[in-house]
Chain A
Amino acid sequence: MRSILAVLGQAVLYALFAAFVGFFSTRPQYRPLPDAHALVKLSVSHAGALKADCRRRTREELERLPPNMRVPAECPRERSPLVIELALDGRLLHAETAMPSGLARDGAATVYRRFVVPAGTHHIAVRLNDDGRVPGFTHQREADLTLVPGQVLVIDFDSERKEVVLL
């Protein structure tokens, strides 16, 4: 009698354990975004223009260098920081100046940001400057978009075609 009760008790506890595992393996449901919202992802990885042009070294400068390093042109490797602005419906959502990567600041500058926005129609403006010698912005893109709930809008920069893309 006692052993039957013990077996029953064990069965109940094993069942509770399985129920616990089965429950939290699927429930409660996860909601990645609040209801009726969409996600805007600003993700840019871009190597901007060199900070300065190549420069011819003067004769005196060349003479001061060791003979094996007397190259007439001096080309700085440092790139311009990436200035980026994102505006939604005329309101500035984000402004950032991203430094190029690498010790010599000669790599790509990276921006990665997520914005949860209400679904619906929005006016989106992206402005970008990748060349420190040019005032203002070098690239812009504006668009009127309708975001459905849950949509992920990716804002990227195509470094080859030199344009802001909306995916």
Chain B
Amino acid sequence: MERVLHSAAFGHSRNPVATILERIERRLDGLFGAVSNPLRHLGAIGFLLFWVIALTGVYLYAVFDTSVAGAYRSTEALSATAYGFGAVVRALHRYASDAFVAVLLLHLARELAFGRVSGFRRFTWLTGVPLVWLTFAAGIVGFWLLWDEVAALSAVATTEWLDALGIFGETLARNFLGAAAVNDRLFSLFVFLHVGLPLLLLAGMWIHVQRLARPDTRPARSLTVGTVGALIVLSFLQPAPLAAPADLGQLPQAVKFDWFFLAPNALSERGSAAVLWLLAAGGTVLLLSLPWLVRTVRAPVAIVDPANCNGCSRCFDDCPYAAVSMTRRGDGGLAVVDADLCAGCGICAGACPSATPFRSVAELVSGIDLPHDPVDRIRRALTEVLAAGEAPVVAFGCRHGADLRALEANGVHAIALECAAQLPPAFVEYALRRGASGVVVVRCADGACEYRLGDRWSDARLAGEREPHLRASVPRDRVLVVGAGAGEERDVMTRIARWRRLPVHAARQEAGDHA
């Protein structure tokens, strides 16, 4: 058995932050369900919040007076609308924006903690970085539109910070020396920026997810309701503050302040502009160079064998990174892999009709396959397991979730895969027909697939809802699908024991001994 397990390394080592984060996420899975777990769908929440901000923004734009004198007055007048509707919309616009910053930074930190910066993810990482700048720029200008004391503070602080760079011909901050300097034309510029920058941000978000197939940009219903609902309640409970009208000749003693967006202003004014430049520019350069600093071993990519490809385009449908495209060949098609986009997950091999183990060829060659870890290796490992054991239970498991060695110690024969969806479903039927008493597929927890879509495709194929499907004639009580992450080996063993009607206690003990 050792040979099978060592044919490809188990488990990927993770940094401690990632391990803790994973543990928290699994806890939250228990509460929200992985599909609605906020931490697993931060990008999607970002999109949701953007739409909330855009919608409330359209209303505010309609009632906003874009002149120096009218800006403050029209903002103040919002509270006088029927039932304070205007004030609530304004508060929602404000708090959704604040939440956007929080979610953006969390999303960045999470991808960073999981080391998702290089290789096939480089494009997504690099296109994420400018979104941070765009978000802050779009939001900060929004505060200026109110033209209250905070607006004046922020406008002065921002322009002084830009001036500190010394690349602008004139001193921008001189636009805010006194009331006489601020005019309606300047205000029209603010409005233009506050419409234009968010549009640019949206374009950037769109580019950011271009390399992903079926990007997760729409949160599940309960996540949508929970997030927007919480912000609406907050908007009713705490109206968005409006300070006294801007007075460039007088600073307030103390003023309510939006730390999500304006913390940089406070830092450059009370600290120094140079420090903020160092942080902002240094941070950006660091984030942008991470893909080259964090060298990951480049996973070998999938390769198409034209002789075995019939052009069915299932691999094209299932690839999570849009790495497969279909070209014409005669009157059919041919799959082509873009090596720069390929993650080496093997999900395409699991989708290919030619990867069925029932083919009577000495070496099983799939139309598309991972050259270093081909389906032929899976069939050989399975043959070996079936020959060695008496009606064994065979587990196919992914290397990114539960540690399969724990199963081995419990008498289950494990075969490691790069992704559970690398397994062509016909292997399940093949194993059962050749003497296995049961087949377990151990995949990542719901929505936690290392390769984004593997858990979904694996489930759908085994349930007969997606091609290639597991045939209806296969007795389903002999097939078990378990979703589990690293560290949840005991859970997996308990599930398997219950399914085999073994005393759970004994299985627990064994798993415990192993750990």
Binding site for B on A (CB under 8 A): 6, 9-11, 13-15, 17-22, 24-33, 35, 39, 41, 43, 45, 101, 107, 110, 112, 114, 148-152, 154, 156, 167
Contact = CB atoms under 8 A, between A and B. Distances in A.
B515 interface: no
A158 to B, nearest CB: 12
B32 A26 contact: no
Nearest to B225: A14
Interface residues of B, number: 49
A30 B95 CA distance: 18
A167 B249 contact: yes
A29 to B, nearest CB: 4
Contacts of A32: 153, 251-252, 255, 269-270
Given A14-B226, A112-B171, A150-B251, 18 more contacts: A10-B222, A13-B38, A14-B229, A14-B230, A21-B95, A22-B237, A24-B259, A25-B95, A25-B258, A29-B255, A30-B153, A30-B254, A32-B153, A32-B270, A35-B253, A101-B169, A110-B171, A112-B160
27 contacts: A6-B31, A13-B38, A17-B230, A18-B230, A18-B233, A18-B234, A21-B95, A21-B231, A21-B260, A25-B95, A25-B98, A26-B258, A29-B257, A31-B254, A35-B253, A41-B177, A43-B177, A45-B170, A45-B174, A101-B169, A110-B170, A112-B174, A150-B253, A151-B251, A152-B250, A154-B178, A156-B177
A148 B251 CA distance: 10
A27 B255 CA distance: 9
Main secondary structure of the interface of A (DSSP, over half): mixed
A22 B251 contact: no
Contacts of A25: 94-95, 98, 240, 258-260
Interface of B: 28, 30-32, 38, 94-95, 98-99, 102, 153, 160, 163, 169-171, 173-174, 177-178, 222, 226-227, 229-231, 233-234, 237-238, 240-241, 248-260, 262, 266, 269-270
Contacts of A41: 177
B31 A150 contact: no
Main secondary structure of the interface of B (DSSP, over half): helix
Contacts of A33: 251
Residue of A14, A15, A27, A39 with highest tally of chain B CB at under 10 A: A14
Residue of A26, A33, A45, A107 with highest tally of chain B CB at under 10 A: A26
A22 B95 contact: yes
B114 to A, nearest CB: 22
B32 A10 contact: yes
Given A22-B234, A25-B98, A26-B241, A112 B163 contact: yes
A89 to B, nearest CB: 21
Contact of A39 (B30, B229, B251, B257): B251
B201 to A, nearest CB: 19
A67 B55 CA distance: 68
A21 B238 CA distance: 11
Contact of B252 (A22, A28, A150, A154): A150
A20 B177 CA distance: 35
A39 B269 CA distance: 12
Contacts of A13: 28, 31, 38
A13 B98 CA distance: 17
A43 B173 contact: yes
A149 B249 CA distance: 11
Nearest to A15: B230
A22 B238 contact: yes
Residue of A18, A26, A156 with highest tally of chain B CB at under 10 A: A18
